Amino acid sequence: MDTELLNTLKEALKKEKLLLEQELSSIAAKDPKVAGDWDSKHPRVPEGNEEEAADEVEEYEERTLIEQTLETRLKEVAAALARIANNTYGACEKCGAQIQKERLVAVPSARTCEHCMTS
Ligand SMILES: [Zn+2]
């Protein structure tokens, strides 16, 4: 892979990582005990108002789902950056072939080539 493309993808990944971290920090608190793990912030549950409390629980569940999605993406992006750092980036995890350039440009955190993705 040419260095210029690699640098472009690296910058894209770094930017995505920052964005994901920003989004996560707005809905979740970083777990101080586990690196890379986030916990959804607990919404306050008002006393004596069951309807509102149910809404809060629903909101919390929704937030947890979003948090998990963001966390998974963040892990993918971090893993891709780690692969760049140890020069294994761009190789398909399943067959070892070089992942198509177009696919990496579209999805810089891709782990598999198009063939393995669809098979
Ligand atoms: Zn493959």
pLDDT at position 59, please?
86
Kind and range of the H or E element at 12?
A: helix 3-27
pLDDT at position 17, please?
97
Could you tell me how many residues make up the chain? 119
Both tokens assigned to 46: 């008002």
- CB atoms closer than 10 angstroms to residue 44: 8
Residue 109, classified by CB atoms within 10 Å of its CB into exposed (0-12), middle (13-18) or buried (19+), is buried
Report yes or no on 40 lying in a domain: yes
CA of 114 to the centre of ligand 1 (A): 7
Q: What's the pTM value of the predicted model, to 2 decimals?
A: 0.77
Question: Which residue range(s) make up the domain with 26?
Answer: 3-90
Could you read off the pLDDT of 94-117 as tens digits, one per residue? Answer: 999 999 999 999 999 999 999 998
Report yes or no on 95 lying in a domain: no
Residue 19's identity, in one-letter code, is L
CA of 18 to the centre of ligand 1 (A): 28
Report yes or no on 54 lying in a domain: yes
CA of 112 to the centre of ligand 1 (A): 5
Residue 25's identity, in one-letter code, is S
CA of 98 to the centre of ligand 1 (A): 8
Given a contact cutoff of 8 angstroms between Cβ atoms, the answer to whether 100 and 113 are in contact is: yes
Report yes or no on 81 lying in a domain: yes
Report yes or no on 79 lying in a domain: yes
pLDDT bucket at 10, cuts 50 / 70 / 90: very high
* Structural domains in the chain (count): 1
Could you read off the pLDDT of 16-69 as tens digits, one per residue? Answer: 999 999 999 988 877 777 767 777 776 665 566 777 788 888 888 888 999 999
pLDDT at position 44, please?
63
CA of 90 to the centre of ligand 1 (A): 10
Report yes or no on 118 lying in a domain: no
Report yes or no on 115 lying in a domain: no
CA of 100 to the centre of ligand 1 (A): 10
CA of 57 to the centre of ligand 1 (A): 42
pLDDT greater at residue 59 or residue 5: 5
CA of 47 to the centre of ligand 1 (A): 55
| pLDDT > 60? residue 82 | yes
